Amino acid sequence: MAHAAPASRKMITQRRRPDVFSTRTHAVAKVALPVVLGLIYGFWAAANQRHGGPVTGWNLLFGFVTALVFAVLFAAVWQLAPRLPRELHAACWFVFTGCAVGFLYNQTGASVYSSSGLGLVVGAGVLAMMFYRYYTHEDAAGRPIG
């Protein structure tokens, strides 16, 4: 029978995931992802606010302002949250997604209580998911594993 040769400790600890995208692609994604997600979110919020009615100038302005605010906040959380400890990192995504979902739902005409409740439920799910991910992918000091 054939057995695998034992690997040295140095070889095991230096294993990294391959980076399939170039540095330029990562730089473009840092700008493009917040802009694209912001435009989608702004369009969605404007559509919810007008309740299927005609598109007006104020509705367009509302959509673009919402897109701008969402893109700036998303970029800030995306860039700054990884520098925080895992608990605060997950809490940043909880607050961001909870507020985003609650605001979006509020534009449909729902009450503040139901919008807040939905934002808390969705945010709590994101908090649990993100905390689990960071807890299982970091060592005790908070450094990424691998």
pLDDT tens track for 64-91 = 999 999 999 999 999 998 888 888 989 9
Q: Do 78 and 93 share a domain, yes or no?
A: no
According to the model, what pLDDT value does residue 125 have?
96
Question: Domain total for the chain?
Answer: 2
Sorting pLDDT into bands at 50, 70 and 90, what band is 22?
Answer: confident
Residue 17 lies in a domain: no
Specify the pTM: 0.80
The three-state DSSP-derived secondary structure of the chain is CCCCCCCCHHHHHCCCCCCCCCHHHHHHHHHHHHHHHHHHHHHHHHHHHHCCCCCCHHHHHHHHHHHHHHHHHHHHHHHHHHHCCHHHHHHHHHHHHHHHHHHHHHCCCCCHHHHHHHHHHHHHHHHHHHHHHHHHHECCCCCECC
Kindly state the percentage of the chain with pLDDT values over 70: 85
Q: Do 69 and 95 share a domain, yes or no?
A: no
Q: Do 96 and 117 share a domain, yes or no?
A: yes
Q: Which domain holds residue 63?
A: 24-83
Q: Do 89 and 41 share a domain, yes or no?
A: no
Q: Do 107 and 134 share a domain, yes or no?
A: yes
Average pLDDT over residues 21-37: 90
Residue 10 lies in a domain: no
pLDDT surpassing 80 at residue 119: yes
